[in-house]
Structure 1
């Protein structure tokens, strides 16, 4: 029988830990909780969901001397597998214990409590693992209710006699001091009490159930009475009925004994047969033991024979495999005579290139096979070490001979081209460099370089230096001859003077000179040599194996007939360069192309001296070429173009600085009147600069505009301060001329539009200052008096001002008489004074309109002050003054 969970000490300790301190666990047992359909309300079936639970019966004493209280706790398992309290009930409210009739096993029961608030909720069904667990729990509940609560719950559907018998069988014997007669008497009294009041159960300890009285329900008591009534059958005395039962029992026992005696011969025959069968079984067992020993010895012999056969077979297989491996090893260790003679020979003629390549292929394969194809256990063999040494010596000899051959080949090939004068530009004839034949001859030995890279990568470094040094001489010679002949073939005008030192007619003639040939020459230099340099860089990377990662031997017949010199740049770029080789490639390209930039600089400086403004178009052309160079092999070309951009910016910056210097030098000349020369000539300069913008040179021109215009405005302000009497006239005329000359360009150039608005603001400011000066000269007394009134209003009320010294009504009348008695003449004088010293007559109408408006505004402000401070005085209104001004 499986152990009951009620005896699980660990479960009891867990329950004790989950409950309050002070509570003593009497019994803990595992159950399954469900909801019964029979108890669902509304005629609906409840959910049948089983949940594992633990029921624990505890006692708790609140204070010493008080009676203990009993509780029934329901505990559930949390997500972490730890017991936690779900519900608890007081046993004093336990009113009913009923076994579920729908469960044929009898392990499902219901506990009813009289204090449940909602009787519509179906009570829980508690299911035990077996009847022993059920009886143990129910008996413990009955004992606790009787001893602690002095009451028993109603028991429904439980065989009380069966449960009492179970309690007697499963409860340790308890010593009793009472006599047998007293026990019988007590049992009788208990039976009588059970028939009247229900079952009575005693308990020595709440964990061990001991039933001393019969547990009989009321229904069973009625059944027993009916049975007794049936058996009485007219008999009045119990002793007679007992005697009758005793006689019947004796008769039945005598009949059983007689039947056994009659069957004795048959039993003896069966026993004899069993003895004979036992002897046969013993003989059979002895024979089986003998056969088992023989079979074991035979099995051991067979295993020994199989083991020896397996070893012999394994040895045979190993010997065959060893022979095959030795044959393969001998193949790897054998060096063909023709290969050795070919690799150590010093002839690299075109006719022998194919044989050399085949020998190199064999050598590379042999070296690779010694590393990859030979088992590691053979590596330390003496024969393998000696053969590896021979292959290394052969490889070293071939690398040395091949490297020396290629060094001489590169030098002789380039020297031959340098000595051929028809290859370079000559007087009256520009020669575009053509390296197709050089590339074709180099590519005939490309496979040797590829093999050298695989055999010994270090040998490529000196070869690359020799190739770069030789080709660098050729490229620099080609660029120098081309640059010299390019400049000599172009007729250029004389260098113009500074743009501010030229008269108007001379400047027009100078600006009309076409210098586009300078730009075309620079463009031609870039269009020929930049693709050439990029192509040479890509070919160098391909030819010198910077992008080759595996050893490939293409078909020699196809490669030899292919025109490598006509391959596009994209074909050279078909192999990606690894990041590790990129730094080495850039260093090699610097050796290959370094020094050629001097010829580009010469063309650039020559073009800048002829026409500095052409630097703008040169800058745009260079930026366009730079944006197209994105490949890994064009690193030096990108650097060259970047240096050209920097040189162009510096050269153009010198021109801008010289222009600013000429503007500043104009300040030290004689007294300036009218429009300054650089104001009008700047528009001519800006127009030419806009014509030369190409590509992305907008930023370069905008920086020049910013620097020149700032210097122009600062110089203009200084020149205006040289005339302390009429400084604003110079500003008005020059700012107006600046706006008129740049109106069209400012609409399309944002930078010039910014300076246009700046000049407009300065023009308005200078106009306001000059008009205020003219007005105050003609009406100084009137507006001085108005200023005094405004100053007094900060500290005095309008009523107190007429009583101040110099601000009385008499003073007001005196000022009005002197200023407004002949106001028309004063306005005419103001107009004449405004026209004085102006050289630009086209500005006068707009200035006179601004002057009349500003004077009318000031006069209206004066009339408002007078009306506020001197309300009784009558003066001409602002409307009358505006009408007078409009009529003049």
Structure 2
């Protein structure tokens, strides 16, 4: 086995030299490899980052205290050891052997005073397990002896370490001298050299005293027989003296015996008397017990009778019906002045019924005849009162609404819009709010008919208010009606295009502003007033929109907002029967009022269909604002209104698209089709009407309009193929010109703008190519033949083909280019002839000249390859000619 670096004296001296002046002594020094490597799947340590280091354990004495340190030494560039780091062993908290290392030679030391615990501690790798065990055992021994504590050991068995330490304790050689004077070498362990000196049990002085004492004792009893005789004589003398003393004390003994006999006689007499007294006391005790038993029974009977009387009084009190309450329950009035007494009677009746129930009444009394009869009597009282109260409330609700409906000044009239005011109605209803709560506690089933009666009565009032308000709203809104024919080719369709119809959407917004908060408040009040057990969301007195009508009472403690029914119903575990019942009741309360909202929408559509965009934005804004605390029916109403507006706008879009498609059936179309500029005007106005989130509605309309416009344009163009490209390029150019400003701000229109631009370029290319080939057909057909032959034969062979000889080339050039200026002028006239939009002519002529030059340049290059000796007018000459035209 290789020698361990822990036994290297040179290494120890180098370490001591490195810490010279620190008053510390080196206990052990050993070479290690420092790394922060990661053990891979192969289980081999990544040693590419390992660095040679020396771990040294040093001790510093300060009086009786000792301090231990772990020093890390590194090699300088000159190979000299120098201190790198120092750790105090008193902070050593963990000693862990890395389990991923198959050799077991890698370990880490954890200190609890390091600033950054998130950084992994360095890993120390030894050459073999003996070196590892040697330094770890040394650290453990120092921690145990000097610091009196041990760190936590992970991945290492302490017992195995102890066994190893026992088997590998360093051996120290000692020399002894034999009797003959020859030296002998012995191998002993370090622990054998430690001699424990025990304290002597007996001192030398004590031993000498004990020997003197024993010597004296032997000398005193040296003659055994003489000593025995002397002891016998002394014993006999003592026995004779005892017998003489006994004989002298006989008279005293007789006197004592006589006294004892007299005392015995007295004791016998006393025992006889005690027996007599004991019999008498036993008889007396039996008499006392009998008397106590009779007294206890009488006392218990008295207590029971008293408790029974008290219990009977309580039962009788429970069974007694106060005459004033009975009168109120069976025949009392329900006027406002008598409601306090009615409420007290209800409270007493509910309490009395609860008092006769088993949890509140002893089960022993539950089957008593009197209790059963009294319970039946109370149930009869309850049924009578519930029937009377329900009948009164049904009539009361109907009379309140009938009184309000009969008063025409309460509703909107001609020339006067009146905001509905339900403050007085709610005030009168609140008088009976507590009565309804008591009715619910007495009989839950009675609330169903009452809720239906309230809903049917108030539904009449709400529908009348909405109808009168909507009628007057439409009558008081003065605006001229716009024609619905927006994209038709008639000349009169644009006369009223700029008419201001904002009053239409303002009227719709006013309808929502007045009635949506009112309907939400009515829903909330109804839910609270009719005792629905649903969670309240809005604060008392608040309305769903955050705005309170001017005439409404802002301090209503009974107005509670109701959580969104639809959303709450969908949440698992939150559904309650009251939510379903409330939703059904709200349907009865508000059903039918939507027709008046629909009427306003339809009226606005007839005046100006484009106002559907504004109304859609207004509805969306209300819908998003009411989502948090609007009642379920109001949410549904707003959703239906949004659908209605979308449907009407879709109807307008379909009619306009039908007007566009009718252009296809007209006689031959020339120039810009009328729906192109009209669509630009329509889009401009639609952008002015966008509010809120109506962008999607308008973008969908744009998509449908433009798609139909482009399809119809292509169909019209195909009816006359000769002029198809002219019609296409003029209309696509007009589409771009009319929508240039809007396309910069509307992404949907920008997409169609680019689509029209591509179609325009394609139509221009086709039309220009047709004009060029019409004037220079022979020239470019000759070039086409040359190009076709160049795929199969070499350029030198082409002049010998039929129709491509040099003579044919000269004839073709003469016929095509002899009057080239006239041909170019003819191209311009042909381009100008059928073009209805004169503003397009300059750009088209520039495109035409560029296209002709490109084609002519290709022709000149072909001729140069195939007919190098022939003279052809150059490209520069042709460009100059075109520039002068």
User: Normalized against structure 2, the TM-score is what?
Assistant: 0.62
Cα offset, 1:729, TM superposition: 0.8
Instruction: Tell me if the contact between 1:329 and 1:374 (Cα under 8 Å) persists in the aligned partners.
Output: no
How far does the alpha carbon of each residue in 1:738-767 deviate from its partner, in whole angstroms, 9 at most, with x for none?
A: 111111111122221111111111111111
Matched residue, 1:288: none
Mean CA deviation greater in 846-855 or 780-789: 780-789
- Selected match of 2:486 from 499, 518, 524: 499
Aligned to 2:437: 450
Q: 2:340 aligns with which of 332, 354, 364?
A: 354
Deviation at 1:574, TM superposition (A): 5.2
CA shift, 1:860, in A, is 2.1
- Residues 270-303 of structure 1, C-alpha deviation per residue, up to 9 Å, x if partnerless? xxxxxxxxxxxxxxxxxxxxxxxxxxxxxxx9xx
What stretches of structure 2 of length at least 5 have no aligned partner?
Answer: 1-132, 143-154, 172-185, 190-223, 236-284, 537-549, 566-574
Aligned to 1:487: 474
Query: Pairwise mapping of residues 444-483 of structure 1 onto structure 2 (< 5 A)?
Result: 444-483=431-470
* Counterparts in 2 of 1:797 and 1:362: CA distance versus 1, 3 Å: farther
Q: Structure 1's 322 and 733: CA in aligned 2 closer, same or farther, altered over 3 A?
A: farther
Distance of aligned partners of 1:887 and 1:339 in 2 relative to their CA distance in 1, 3 Å threshold: same
Equivalent runs, 1:106-145 vs 2, <5 Å: 121-122=168-169
| Segment drifting more, 464-473 vs 357-366 | 357-366
Matches within 5 A, 1:55-454: 121-122=168-169, 331-371=317-357, 372-375=359-362, 379-380=366-367, 382-454=369-441
Select 2:524's aligned residue among 533, 538, 558.
Answer: 538
Q: Cα gap change, 1:633/1:382 in structure 2, threshold over 3 Å: closer, same or farther?
A: farther
Aligned position for 1:519: 505
1 CA distance for matches of 2:662 and 2:300?
A: 108
- Whether 2:850 is the aligned partner of 1:853: answer yes
- In 2 relative to 1, CA 730–48 (structure 1 residues): closer, same or farther, beyond 3 Å? same
User: What are the Cα deviations for residues 107-142 of structure 1, in whole angstroms up to 9, with x where unaligned?
Assistant: x9x9xxxxx9x9983399xxxxxxxxxxxxxxxxxx
CA distance in 2, matches of 1:833, 1:48: 112
Decide whether aligned partners of structure 1 residues 785 and 324 sit closer, same or farther in structure 2, where only a CA change above 3 A counts: farther
Partner of 2:107: none
SS at match of 2:495: helix
Moved more, 495-504 or 876-885: 495-504
Deviation per residue, 1:211-259 (Å, 9 max, x gap): xxxxxxxxxxxxxxxxxxxxxxxxxxxxxxxxxxxxxxxxxxxx9xx99
Whole-angstrom distance in 1 between the partners of 2:753 and 2:730: 14
More deviation in 441-450 or 617-626? Answer: 617-626
Distance (whole Å) between structure 1 residues aligned to residue 741 and residue 556 of structure 2 = 46
Contact 2:534 2:578 in 1 (8 A): no
Q: Is the 8 A contact 2:660 2:712 kept in 1?
A: yes
**How has the CA–CA distance of structure 1 residues 405 and 857 changed in structure 2, closer, same or farther, with 3 Å as cutoff?**
same
CA distance in structure 2 between the partners assigned to 1:876 and 1:749 by the alignment = 51
What SS is found at the alignment partner of 1:672?
Answer: coil
Give distance in 1, aligned partners of 2:835 and 2:134: 113
Larger CA deviation: 328-337 vs 457-466: 328-337
Q: Which residue of 2 aligns with 1:601?
A: 598
CA deviation after TM superposition for structure 1 residue 460, in Å: 0.6
What CA RMSD, in Å, does the superposition of the two structures yield over aligned residues?
Answer: 4.3
Structure 1 CA distance for aligned equivalents of residues 840 and 551 of structure 2: 74
Cα offset for 1:730? 0.9
The residue number in structure 2 matching 1:652 is 649
- The equivalent residue for 1:749 is 746
Q: Which residues of structure 1 form unaligned runs of 5+? A: 1-39, 50-78, 88-107, 111-115, 125-153, 158-254, 267-300, 551-562
Cα distance in 1 for residues equivalent to 2:325 and 2:315: 18
In the alignment, the residues of structure 2 paired with residue 616 and residue 548 of structure 1 have an alpha-carbon distance, to the nearest angstrom, of 37
For residues 24-47 of structure 1, what are the alpha-carbon distances to aligned partners after superposition, in whole Å with 9 as ceiling and x for unaligned? xxxxxxxxxxxxxxxx98998685
* Residue 766 (str. 1) matches residue 752 (str. 2): no
Residue of structure 2 aligned with 1:786, choices 783, 802, 807:
783
Q: CA offset at residue 441 of structure 1?
A: 0.8
Q: 1:46 to 1:746 in 2, by over 3 A?
A: closer
Is the Cα–Cα contact under 8 Å of residues 616 and 694 in structure 1 kept in the other structure? yes
Measure the CA separation in 2 of the matches of 1:761 and 1:754.
11
- Secondary structure of 1:511's aligned partner: coil
**Residues 438, 565 of structure 1: 8 Å contact kept:** no
1:657/1:575 CA distance change after superposition, 3 Å: closer
1:652 Cα deviation from its structure 2 partner: 1.6
Aligned residue in 1 for 2:48: none
Q: Does residue 630 in structure 1 map to residue 627 in structure 2?
A: yes
Paired with 2:555 and 2:867, the residues of 1 have a C-alpha distance of 97
* Equivalent of residue 585 in structure 1, options 568, 578, 582: 582
1:188 aligned residue:
none
> Quick one: distance in 2 between partners of 1:119 and 1:353?
101
Instruction: Give the Cα–Cα distance (whole angstroms) in 2 for the partners of residues 774 and 764 of structure 1.
Output: 16
Kindly indicate whether residue 655 of structure 2 is the aligned counterpart of residue 667 of structure 1.
no
Return the match for 1:716 from 705, 713, 738.
713
* Matched residue, 2:101: none
Shift of 1:393: 2.5
Judge conservation of contact 1:464–1:544 (CA < 8 Å) in 2.
yes
CA gap of 1:607–1:45, structure 2 versus 1, over 3 A, is closer
1:467 deviation in Å?
Answer: 0.7
1:440 and 1:564 in contact (8 A); partners too: no
CA contact (8 A) 2:743 2:749 kept: yes
Q: Identify the residue that residue 693 of structure 2 maps to in structure 1.
A: 696
Greater alpha carbon shift after TM alignment, 469-478 vs 806-815: 806-815
Instruction: Report the number of matched residues.
Output: 613
The residue number in structure 1 matching 2:249 is: none
Residues 155 and 343 of structure 1: is their aligned pair in 2 closer, same or farther, counting only changes over 3 Å?
Answer: farther
Distance 1:155 1:861, change over 3 A: closer
Decide whether the 8 Å contact of 1:346 with 1:401 is kept in 2. Answer: no
399-408 vs 784-793, which moves further? 784-793
Counterpart for residue 704 of structure 2: 707
Residue by residue, what CA displacement relative to the aligned partner does 1:592-638 show, whole Å, maximum 9, x if unpaired? Answer: 11111122222221221122122221222222222221255521122
Structure 1: distance between partners of 2:551 and 2:413: 28
Deviation at 1:800, TM superposition (A): 4.2
Structure 1 window deviating more from structure 2 (40-49 vs 672-681): it is 40-49
Label 1:119 to 1:827 Cα distance change in 2 as closer, same or farther (>3 A).
farther
Whole-angstrom distance in 1 between the partners of 2:351 and 2:362: 16
Q: Name the structure 1 match of 2:560.
A: 573
Distance 1:523 1:539 in 2: 24
Deviations 1:769-822 (A, max 9, x none): 100101111121222222223333333344444443333444334333332333
2:727 corresponds in structure 1 to 730
Distance 2:504 2:756 in 1: 35
Using the TM superposition, name which of 629-638 and 469-478 deviates more. 629-638
Residue 703 of structure 1, CA deviation: 1.5
Does the 8 Å CA contact 1:443/1:564 hold for their aligned counterparts? Answer: no
8 Å contact kept, 2:534–2:579:
no
Cα distance between partner residues in 1 of 2:650 and 2:557: 38
